[in-house]
Amino acid sequence: MASHTLTKDEVAEFQRHGFLVIPHLFDDEEIALLEQIARSDRQLAADASGRRDGEGGTVQLAVRNDLGDDIYAAIVRSPRIVDRMEQLLGGEVYHYHHKMILKEPLVGGAWAWHQDYGYWYDNGCLFPDMASCMIAVDRATQANGCLQVLRGSHLMGRVNHVNIGDQTGADPERVEAALERLELVYCELEPGSAVFFHSNLLHRSDQNKSADPRWVFICCYNTARNDPYKESRHPRYSRLERWDDSRVKEVGLAQLRR
């Protein structure tokens, strides 16, 4: 099984900025399989729910805690992600959950400024030793509502969160102060490219007012040492079995033949 080791500079960049972009983490064939499977996945569509953004739009997402024998699990278990995530978080990680964001052309809603740990905190996770890997299924641009981050905002610590539409967003007053002091970065990504980001990083996305879809697949991980002290909607620690990188195509092709 291949090792996917980040350089010291890349780890330092993540620690300093709170995020790290990895171009072409998955190749064209792999991401085409993911796109084809996801867009024809009736259960995914049925699982998707809408969250009003407080700006007049609604964003659709499907969240899953369980790993099956499918391309989604093959990606979550991929050493390309897991090896890097363990480097960035400094220890063993496990699958916390994964989700697909379905931001359709012209109607896809926004996500308010938030930190993932802003609400994972309430799930019994004592420390923000958690992170996500967001993979672009479609090309992500400013026009179709790509991820926006505030560089270095994870160093602020956890910010209080309030209700914004159907979403949980960071305290607007604190966000405004952060916007005056920190650099706003638009994470434009080609399909298959990814961004790893810390659970305390402030991030958001705009509505999709373009003619292009913007779907993203997000794999979320918690550290084993941060096993939640109580039950919640997401799982407590269980060992994450890695699958060889080749399984992404193997499982994806098999899934298409079912």
How do residues 12-32 score in pLDDT, each as one tens digit? 999 999 999 999 999 999 999
pLDDT score for 158: 97
In order of their start, the domains of the chain are 17-224+232-257 (2.60.120.620)
Residue 63 has pLDDT above 60, yes or no: yes
Percent of the chain with pLDDT over 70: 98
Let me know: does 21 contact 194? Beta carbons within 8 Å.
yes
Contact 184, 148 (CB under 8 A): yes
φ and ψ of 21, to 5 deg: -95, 130
Instruction: Kindly state the percentage of the chain with pLDDT values over 90.
Output: 86
Instruction: Determine contact, residues 198/55, Cβ cutoff 8 Å.
Output: no
Question: What is the per-residue pLDDT for 99?
Answer: 97
User: pLDDT tens for residues 162-221?
Assistant: 887 777 899 999 999 999 999 999 999 999 999 999 999 999 999 999 999 999 999 999
- Sheet arrangement for strand 93-103: 19-22, 194-198, 130-136, 214-223, 93-103, 58-64, 49-52
Q: How confident is the model at residue 3 (pLDDT cuts 50, 70, 90)?
A: low
pLDDT of 1 above 60: no
DSSP bridge partners of 223? 93
**What letter represents residue 123's amino acid?**
N
Q: Are strands 58-64 and 49-52 parallel, antiparallel or unpaired?
A: antiparallel
Asked whether residue 92 carries a pLDDT value surpassing 80, the answer given is yes
Q: What is the pLDDT of residues 95-152, one digit of tens each?
A: 999 999 999 998 778 888 999 999 999 999 999 999 999 999 999 999 999 999 999 9
- pLDDT tens digits for range 215-255: 999 999 999 999 999 999 999 999 999 999 999 999 999 99
